[in-house]
Amino acid sequence: MTTYDLALIGFGGVNRTLAEIVHDRGEALRAELGFSLRIVAITDLRLGSLMKAEGIDLAMALHLGHGETFADHGGSKDTNNESVIRNCTADIVCEATFTNPEDGEPAVSHVRWALESGKSVCTTNKGPVALRGPELEKLAEENGVRFEFEGAVMSGTPVIRLAKQMFAGLAINGFEGILNGTSNYVLGRMEAGLDLASAISEAQELGYAEANPSADIEGYDVQLKVLILANELLGAGITLQDVSREGLSSVSSADIEKASAQGMRWKLIGSARKKSDGTVTASVKPVALPMDHGLAGISGATNAVSFGTDLLGPVTVSGPGAGRVETAYALLSDIIAIHAAKKVPSHA
């Protein structure tokens, strides 16, 4: 039986949930998937770092007491990310740290260190994929490993892999989608009568929006996702500066009321379109959609993407766009894809 050793970089909600899945469902997954998972390294800003070639005691790691760090269990109070990533015995590095939309760091370095040391990577982090995707994919190929990132767009809904694998034989000429659950929730509440500030405040109270909601509300999050989809699925070869961005602050309560009276509904739409000369235009902006539009009925935190294809016309994929369990599943799906590719060394 093949066993893949994992290193978890970041031990917040997503990687912690992946550890819970490995701990609670490990035997069932082994029987179902045909391989085992063992976590041999964890790093975390608060907890420090721990490496155990024979496997970390997950019950301990998941239930550290108040004030405890990995230093209390043979590890270090420091993250030591580069040393851990380069020197641990992991086959696959699961990177789930925060997204930095400016330069993608430190996640870009985390991914690069892993690939350079012959380890495959799966990540939920949009930064490395959007800002350094082609460079990192080339580095993975040069080192005979994989760089997988299904969770970077639409969380656990496998939109990238689905389009690449299930749309074989179709030409994708563009897409448009609702790619941020927070902004979609806020627009729904504005349609119910709240102003923008009140809708954002409610979203924050419910845990949908961060204390600083600009990444969601002003379209920065969607901008990164559009860039990823455009480059991965349309071969656009564009940069973040090529994706125009307009957020929800341009939509007033009066705009919402007017659209509703006309049988329309506002949505924050991320889209890209391949032109006849092969170039791609991409944007993020609020759009008033007619009620019979395929994306008009997408509500709450649900995400959806409608792909334009040559043989089938529009094909729409919808599913959860957030959530720690859903995003942890995206990492698991990446690990399954890495196993299927049979390009990583393994421990028998």
3-state secondary structure of 314: strand
225 is catalytic: yes
Q: Residue 30, CB half-sphere, CA atoms under 13 Å: how many?
A: 13
**Catalytic residue from among 52, 126, 225, 285:** 225
Peptide bond into 101 cis (omega under 30): no
Are 189 and 199 in contact by the 8 Å Cβ rule? The answer is: yes
Instruction: Count the alpha carbons within 13 Å of 168 in the hemisphere toward its beta carbon.
Output: 3
Edge-to-edge strand order for the sheet containing 243-245? 243-245, 280-290, 264-274, 172-178, 302-309, 313-320
CA 178, CA 268: separation in Å to the nearest integer?
A: 6
E strand intervals along 96-251: 120-123, 147-148, 172-178, 243-245
Task: Give the 3-state secondary structure of residue 74.
Answer: coil
> For residue 45, how many other CB atoms are within 10 A of its CB?
13
Instruction: Evaluate the CA torsion angle 173, 179, 185, 186 in order and state its sign.
Output: negative
First and final C-alpha spacing in the chain: 6
Query: Could you list the active site residues?
Result: 225
